[in-house]
Amino acid sequence: MTDIMADLTWREAINQVIDEDGLKELTQKKSISLYCGVDPTGSSLHIGHLIPFMVLKRFQLAGHHPVIVIGGGTGAIGDPSGKNSERVLQTMDQVQANKEHLTAQMEKLFGTENFTIVDNYDWLSKLSLLDFLRDYGKLFNVNTMLNKEIVASRLEVGISYTEFTYQILQSIDFLHLYKYNDVQLQIGGADQWGNITAGTDLIHRQEGADAKVFGLTIPLMLKADGTKFGKTAGGAVWLDPERTTPYEFYQFWLNQDDRDVVRYLKYFTFLDRAEIEALAEKVATEPEKREAQRRLAQEVTKFVHGEQAVVEAEHISKALFSGDVTALTAEEIEQGFRDVPSVDVTADKANIVQWLVDTKIEPSKRQAREDVTNGAITVNGERIREVEFELDPTAAFDGRFVIVRRGKKRYFLARVK
């Protein structure tokens, strides 16, 4: 079989491993099942979730069987996050709705063959309090639990018993999956190491010291400037195209720093070593062409949103760069102009000077007349030079939008209501 561990090592995708030699030997001998968990705390995954999912996908492509646990049970109580506060408990209706959205997103990433999604609510909800304390609580040492990094970081400000027990519930997940789904490996972010080792310890206590179970964590993903990967000025980058459009998603990857792009190519794409090394050479010799960034944007956008989304994102990018917006569809405008200043307008025709002032694109009639006369105003890709020009808001883009550009780069979007 493919040497998946060697590939992950080259891609700098391994932080810590429980019995690395044993895991390498096992994965070269046979196909294994492995899992990663995600709690339904929101209605969409974001690119931070791609960090463990890319490793899961690589195992899948190498012939192994990924399992994702949607934490309908653990999500109802919340894990002790790195933040100095308790998570807000969600209603079960919220958890269920989020679970359905996340399931659809993950099936898009992993397909439906050689892939399993389970919900830990199915087994955790059957545990009585007495069973939990007798069968599992007895096997966990409080001193050991307190020393887990994710718990220790919260002790100064306080942590509830509910969140404190999260690592026991996650350990029960691993035990259940080992017994009933033949799962031998759990993967997670660097902050999950304590929870993962707690799970392997529980399995060894329950099933015997010779049980072959492993854990693997992924390095903390930091940008070259030391800040956390995946955050932008506008917040998280979501996989839901309604929250982060495919164009915005594409632009996020296209705008990565030269210092980060090769590492991201290794981690977030399925390009082979030869192509990535060739792109790394381009970064070193011709960084101004940003060929590596473009390839990164293409590959990750294709993986998450499909090939057509790449075509549309590049079409929008080309139109905005050239200023020729006439070929854009109304749907592409919805994507590409989400972050530009916008205003609602009526469908009524109006004099261009008055319209520019009414929409506050221009501060005064004097400035509006001057900009029109000087050719600084384009409407829907057409340069306007006549101050008597009558603007029809429904003339283009299915009657939904008017795109105004003032000067070379300042865009405005009018939404026709």
**Strand runs labelled E in 91-180:** 116-119
Q: What value does the mean pLDDT of the chain take?
A: 91
pLDDT band, residue 94 (cuts 50/70/90): confident
Do 189 and 254 reside in the same domain of the chain? no
Whether residues 285 and 196 share a domain: the answer is no
- Binding-site residue ranges for ATP: 231
Integer-rounded Cα Rg, in Å, for the chain is: 26
Which of 72-86, 139-153, 378-392 shows the highest mean pLDDT?
A: 378-392
List the catalytic residue out of 28, 232, 326, 329: 232
Degrees, nearest 5: CA angle 103-229-183: 40
Annotated binding site for L-tyrosine: 35, 166, 170
170 is catalytic: yes
Percent of the chain as helix, strand, coil, to the nearest 5? 50, 15, 35
Q: Note if 232 is an active site residue.
A: yes
The 8-class DSSP code of residue 135 comes to I
Of 174, 193, 218, which one is at a domain's C-terminal end? 218
| CATH number of the domain that residue 373 is part of | 3.10.290.10
pLDDT recorded at residue 289? 94
The phi and psi torsions of 42 (rounded to 5 degrees) equal: -150, 175
Same domain assignment for residues 161 and 48: yes
pLDDT digits (tens, 9 = 90+) for 271-310: 999 999 999 999 999 999 999 999 999 999 999 999 999 9
Query: For the domain that residue 90 is a member of, what is the CATH number?
Result: 3.40.50.620
87: pLDDT confidence band, cut at 50, 70 and 90? low
Let me know if 322 is exposed, middle or buried by CB neighbors in 10 A (0-12, 13-18, 19+): exposed
167 located within any domain: yes
Instruction: Say yes or no: 272 and 251 in one domain.
Output: yes
Structural domain contains residue 224: no
Catalytic entry in 49, 64, 154, 305:
49
Q: Is 294 noted as a catalytic residue in this protein?
A: no
User: Is 148 in the same domain as 69?
Assistant: yes
Residue 225 covered by a domain: no
Task: Supply the pLDDT for residue 79.
Answer: 62
In a domain, 38, yes or no: yes
What's the pLDDT tens digit per position in 114-133? 999 999 999 999 999 999 99
Q: Which two tokens stand for residue 184?
A: 């031998």
Residues 210 and 308 in one domain: no
Q: Please check whether residues 192 and 109 belong to one and the same domain.
A: yes
Residues 256 and 193 in one domain: no
Q: Report d(CA 290, CA 105) in Å as an integer.
A: 30
pTM for this prediction = 0.85
Whether 331 is in a domain gets the answer no
Kindly state whether residue 385 falls inside one of the protein's structural domains. yes
CA 106 to mean position of chain CA atoms: 11
CB within 8 Å of 413: residues ≥ 6 apart = 333, 337, 340, 341, 342, 343, 401, 402, 403, 404
Active site residue 417: no
- Tens of pLDDT, residue by residue over 208-226, are 999 999 999 999 888 888 8
| Residue 105 is a catalytic residue | no
pLDDT tens digits for 163-180? 888 889 999 999 999 999
Domain boundary (322, 355, 390) is at 322
| Containing structural domain, residue 280 | 231-322
- How much is the average pLDDT of 387-400? 94
Number of domains in the chain: 3
CB neighbours of residue 308 within 10 Å:
10
CB contact at 8 A, 342 and 387: no
Q: What is the pairing mode between strands 183-189 and 214-218? A: parallel
Whether residue 85 has pLDDT greater than 60:
no
